Amino acid sequence: GNSVTQMEGPVTLSEEAFLTINCTYTATGYPSLFWYVQYPGEGLQLLLKATKADDKGSNKGFEATYRKETTSFHLEKGSVQVSDSAVYFCALSHSNSGAGSYQLTFGKGTKLSVIP
């Protein structure tokens, strides 16, 4: 089946530290991969995406590269800020077999806290 495994937090970092959140996936075919961020009390915001192998998604200093050989899509940021404190979800888009539609399947989420 299709699934996403991401490192479970919480992760606590000091401001300006380097961030890595690991994400690996299991999928049939060639899924699109996403990172979403959820701030407290809010919905999900698309952070970045990649639609094929070796694509690099980037946004707001965050990056992730679609690695087909290791089935990974790790999120990185060189210098985190307090405002980056949120929950981060890795997700893949795949087809509902036989239903003719697609859906997002999420990892369990990683809570990041950045302290000054």
Enumerate binding residues for another protein (CB under 8 A): 32, 34, 36, 42-46, 49, 51, 89, 93, 95-96, 99-109
Q: How far is the CB of 111 from another protein (least distance, A)?
A: 8
Comparison of 49 and 74: residue with beta carbon closer to another protein: 49
Q: How far is the CB of 17 from another protein (least distance, A)?
A: 24
- How far, in Å, CA of 91 to CA of 79, rounded? 23
Comparison of 14 and 96: residue with beta carbon closer to another protein: 96
Q: How far is the CB of 112 from another protein (least distance, A)?
A: 14
